[in-house]
Amino acid sequence: MADNVKPRVRVPSDATAGEEITIKTLISHTMESGQRKDGDGNPIPRSIINRFTCTFNGEPVIDVTMEPAISTNPYFEFQAIVPESGTFEFTWYDDDGSVYTDSKEITVG
């Protein structure tokens, strides 16, 4: 497992029905591309987050395939319209099989 991987998410805690809200996510990760070599000339194996998904009450919101050219600590910002109160689930999939998750509740009043 890569070191110091920590997901961070910002979602407003409440919204009105049909309002477009902004979601920001960031995961600290080295995103080693596999193209680099270490001091002795040996290739450093690729180790990246290769997929990021967000769901709302089980419904898919966004599903991203990520590639080695994405730089360290990948950051995503996107909009969503929330019809009702519920939970956003965020999932990051690591090359090494690790899965990192976070979730945020939102109240629609």
* Contact set with another protein (CB under 8 A): 4, 6, 8, 10, 24, 26, 28, 71-73
Nearest to 55 by CA among 26, 89, 27: 89
In the complex with another protein, the residue whose CB is nearer, 13 or 65, is 13
What dihedral do alpha carbons 80, 94, 43, 33 form, nearest 10°? 0
Alpha carbons 98 and 84: distance in angstroms, whole number: 31
Taking the complex as a whole, the smallest distance from the CB of residue 6 to another protein amounts, in Å, to 6
Taking the complex as a whole, the smallest distance from the CB of residue 69 to another protein amounts, in Å, to 15
Do the bridges between strand 14-15 and strand 99-108 make them parallel or antiparallel, or are there none, so unpaired? parallel
In the complex with another protein, the residue whose CB is nearer, 65 or 71, is 71
In the complex with another protein, the residue whose CB is nearer, 24 or 84, is 24
